[in-house]
Amino acid sequence: MIAKFGNIRIASFKLLSVSESLLLLYLISVILISMTPGGNLVSKLVGLILLYFFVLSVIKSKRKILISREIYFAIGWLVIGLISGFVATDINLVYVKVFTIIQLLIFFIVGYSIINQSAISIKTIFYVFIISVVIAFLYGLLTQGNSAVVVTRNRIVGTAGDPNQIAVFGAFAILFSIYLIIIEKKYIFKLLNIAFIAILVLGIVKTQSRQGILIILVSTIVLLILNYFSEYKRSNNKSRIIIRSLLILLFSIVIIGIVIYYFRQSDYYYRVQALITFVKISLGSTSDNITKMIDYSAYERKKLISFGIRMWLDHPIIGIGLDNFRVVIKNYWPISNRLYSHNNYIELLSTIGTAGTIVYYSIYYSIFKKLSQVNKKSEFFKNNHNIKLIHIFITAMVCLMVLEFVTVTYYSKFTWILLMIILGYTDKLSNAKQVEE
């Protein structure tokens, strides 16, 4: 189908099947409404309808259920989580979390199977993701200042219900917009993505989330390094690549300087300044009272991680039971609330032990291995866009692992959707399929 404005051709696209459309709708629901009151039920309903039509298409022999090798690691991890229930203080928490993980794995398999057998392009996936996040931010910017936001110190939360969560969405959306700016041929779409990035950056600043700015910094550094080494390896004029890279570095330093100047004028700055002061005092003083006053959030996270490491050392093999950190933390820190460890690595190590954590991160290792293999044979790609896409995927995986130092992600819909997208299109590329159109 071709979209036109008068006699001007805007874009061409293929009509999607019901399952493909529902997959995109499910992605939209996770970003826009899953964290609003009642929104999680709506998102699950969309997921169930997606599952129904996918099974129907399998029965009619239009599709196959595809199982990637990463699923076997996920099943092994799930089994270890179940076994950890034997030592859990609260077995109900284990059952609830296992049920959640089973749902996530089912949708992971369904989404992976649809992507590998469908006409959905990576551009479509990225645009759906970016536009959904932009809408969430615009809603947050328009409603900023209402009574519900006062409790978060006027930090916008959009429709995500959490300033950190929406900031993470925004940071990944910026990464995907950068890819679209690179591959789009029409200037109108390049300008559209630049506009998206401007809204996303403004939104992230308004969330005052340190997670958002961390992901932006990490993604920028990783992406620049990957692109530099790729171009250097493929170029016959190495000196030209080096000179151009130095110019880009100089330009980046100037831009960063400008950004830092305006950043220091924003509400965002006080949170970063408080964190830096906290770290300095923590390294040079034992006064918990001082550190609590300066940045209680950082103080609390430090305590949770410290006690989480102690839990793991006390139960190194099987842990304390899946999702039981928030119960057992009371035994180590009596004044603590029922909180997660705010660190995916510590959360897994303490709750399902060393073996369970290794099995879980074997999923990531397997995806990185596939990305590396595809990247090595990137010289066989006819289109340079596929090389850029692999760089985006590697960057996204690195950012996810960095993010996991400050939050728990193993049961997050967003985490499994991101892994599904990366794995689905990486396997397409490994089969020499072009996915950039």
pLDDT in tens, 375-401: 877 655 556 788 889 999 999 999 999
Residue type, 310: R
Rounded CA separation 245/134 (Å) = 31
pLDDT value, residue 254: 77
* Closest to 25 in 3D by CA, of 129, 167, 133: 129
Regions of the chain short of the pLDDT cut 70: 1-14, 144-154, 232-238, 241, 256, 259-298, 378-383, 432-437
Cα first-last separation, the chain? 14
pLDDT value, residue 413: 92
Q: Are 114 and 23 in contact, with CB atoms under 8 Å apart? A: yes
Rounded CA separation 266/206 (Å) = 9
pLDDT value, residue 147: 41
Backbone angles phi, psi at 227, to 5 degrees: -65, -40
Q: Are 330 and 336 in contact, with CB atoms under 8 Å apart? A: yes
* Closest to 307 in 3D by CA, of 341, 281, 284: 341
pLDDT value, residue 278: 46
Q: Which two tokens stand for residue 248?
A: 């880009």
pLDDT value, residue 135: 93
| Placement of tokens 């000196």 in the chain | 239
pLDDT value, residue 297: 66
pLDDT value, residue 140: 82
